[in-house]
Chains A and B, each alone.
Chain A
Amino acid sequence: MDLALKDIRRHLGKFIATIAGVAMLLSIVLVMNGIYQGNIADGIWLIENTATDLWVVERGRGGPFNESSRMPLDSYKSIAATPGVARASPLVLYTAQREIGGSSQQFTVVGYDVFGGLGGPGRVVRGRVIAAPHYEMIADQKLGLEPGGGVTLGTHAYTVVGVTQGAVDSAGNPLVYLSLPDAQEVQFQQDNRALVAARAANLKRLERAGYSSEQATRLLPFLASNSDTVNAVLVRLAPGADGESVARHMRDWLYFNVYSTDEERRLMLEGRLSKMSAVLGLFRVLLVLVSIVIIALIVYVLTIEKIRSIATLKLIGAPNWVIVRLIMEQSLALTLASFAVAYGLRELIAPGFPRTLAFLAEETAATFAVMLAGGVLASLMAIWHALRTPPQLALGG
């Protein structure tokens, strides 16, 4: 006779309510796993999905993701001339926030050489790649744009020609791809009235410094910000070229910092992502511990509720395995059913979740194993208590 099943059947409502409660907690654990991995996946998405061998950035900088890096636009030409380099392309990256689709949305602009340069979108799920030098853009579907749609950035209207899926920056914001000159223009373009005001203020400052009006007018262009800069240069190595020696050459002779894709990934993981990952990891561990404690308490309470029945079983001569099976089966049923429901809840929550959730099968399996171990541990504690229960407890009035 399966006592565990009989007990569950008699107290089905209570058992289902318990499973629902535990499942909700476990689903938070599973979603937290997804947030943790999603944070890492988002953080390194651009690095992983930019088909390049080397990232060249400003000297002494850990850019272009962890800190800002600015290089003259034509630096990519000297990099391209380095022995072992097959191709070098300039790249512009910056975060922007604009009104799109009726709400203010943050995104990262990626400016790249649209005519065969590196750094463009890997796969366009709808529409096409940028084919014109100006006023075309590719946006990630997270922005809610479709091919044919339009967005005004700065003083120009841009037409969406393609849509990507899952293209995000390290904060999980969608990417917008523009041609390099467009990206630079959007970044540095100022409102005409603001430009006139800035020009007048600069002239006044120079005149106050003792320059004549003519001298001040001639010096004015040198005070204007230079928009002819890029944030990084992407390098594709020639077949057979040694990345390390090419990088060393650029460091020694061109005075740039050079990172391989692996190094760039490590910079991201140990820099910008490390604290967030540590916080999420800590929450994850705490949630797992809380879940195990709650499962343990429920299993223990389920056993304590039956302690008089267990004493009666011992008194009438039931062998220990009858009691062990009763407790273990209920504990496993609770853990397995809760995890299955939690898994279903996770699948329901994931599509509408505001951040990227990345689920690793091995991590889900590990969480399941930890929960199962927790359930087994809890049932062992309950079994230990049950087996120590004196049979004479059944005789008490």
Chain B
Amino acid sequence: MPVLEVDKVSMTFGQGELAVQALKPTTFSVEGGELAALLGPSGSGKSTLLLAISLILEPTTGRIAMDGREIYNDGPCGIDERAYRRQNIGFIFQQHNLIPFLTARENVALVMQINGVGRREAGRRARELLGYLEIAHRADSLPANLSGGEQQRVAIGRALANEPRLVLADEPTAALDTERGMKVMALLRKIARERQSAVITVTHDHRMIEGFDTVYHLDDGRLTKTTHADTH
């Protein structure tokens, strides 16, 4: 069973003559352990699709299911959208977006605590997760004292804190050099494989395309599945 099913999801902003269809009816699915790339020029609807999947923006039409459970079907299915996000989705941002006044460990533990994990247990698991990401030695550092690559690892740790079924990454390598970008891609692949999470990555970075299992292309709100050869 796919982790995420997106069926004819569309997004229209505005009404009447001013209506703009940012996302045309889109259908795709992502399996556990799959690493999918979402390519497309600026304004093509990539971020809109991520916002729709995470229910930050309500789709205009369509159906979304997570692990077979319907969470949206032409309207909300009575779920708490924030609880849905913190329990099912991990976010990785281009600018890392770590809370600046929390240490690396606290940034990771916070997400667990928000999800109901006790303080001590959250701290232990955060340290363990940072160890998995090979950054345990910087656990007590503030984001401002970490390099870009280290910050991105902490951000990945935070995204994995609640063991989400789906990881949404918005240009996670854009702010990194090639070497660090490759390492982050390898890490995302490892996460997808080892944890059987589905990973969808929005990227402009053609250097990284080789590492993805599936590549989608969004152009003018229309999603198409492409092969690796098509992207070069």
Contacts and interface: CB of A to CB of B under 8 A. Distances in A.
Contacts of B47: 392, 395
Contacts of B93: 312, 394-395
A236 interface: no
A10 interface: yes
- Chain A at the B interface: mostly helix, strand, loop or mixed? helix
Interface string A52-64: 0000000000000
A346 interface: no
B72 interface: no
B114 A319 contact: yes
A322 B86 CA distance: 13
A347 B115 CA distance: 47
Contacts of B84: 317
A315 B89 CA distance: 10
Interface string B97-131: 10111100010011101110001000000000000
A32 B95 CA distance: 50
B102 A6 contact: yes
Interface residues of A, number: 24
A395 B50 CA distance: 10
B176 interface: no
B94 interface: yes
B61 interface: no
A9 B101 CA distance: 8
B141 to A, nearest CB: 12
A309 interface: yes
Given A392-B47, A392-B56, A317 B95 contact: no
Nearest to A305: B100
A52 to B, nearest CB: 66
Nearest to B174: A397
Contacts, number: 70
Size class of the contact patch on chain B: 20 to 34
A319 B170 CA distance: 22
Contacts of B91: 315-316, 394
Interface in A336-386: none
Most B-side CB within 10 Å, residue of A1, A6, A11: A1
B133 interface: no
A316 B86 contact: yes
B87 interface: yes
B225 interface: no
A309 B86 contact: no
B12 to A, nearest CB: 17
B56 A391 contact: yes
B51 interface: yes
Nearest to A312: B97
A284 interface: no
A318 interface: yes
Contact of B114 (A6, A309, A316, A390): A316
Given A1-B109, A392-B51, A6 B101 contact: yes
A9 B100 CA distance: 12
Interface in B41-76: 47, 50-51, 54, 56-57
16 contacts: A3-B99, A3-B101, A3-B102, A6-B101, A9-B101, A10-B142, A11-B101, A308-B97, A309-B97, A315-B85, A316-B91, A317-B84, A317-B85, A317-B89, A319-B82, A390-B56
Interface of B: 47, 50-51, 54, 56-57, 82-87, 89, 91, 93-95, 97, 99-102, 106, 109-111, 113-115, 119, 142, 158, 170
Interface of A: 1, 3, 6-7, 9-11, 308-309, 312-319, 322, 390-392, 394-395, 397
Q: What 4 pairs across the A-B complex have the smallest Cβ distances?
A: A317-B86, A317-B85, A10-B101, A317-B82
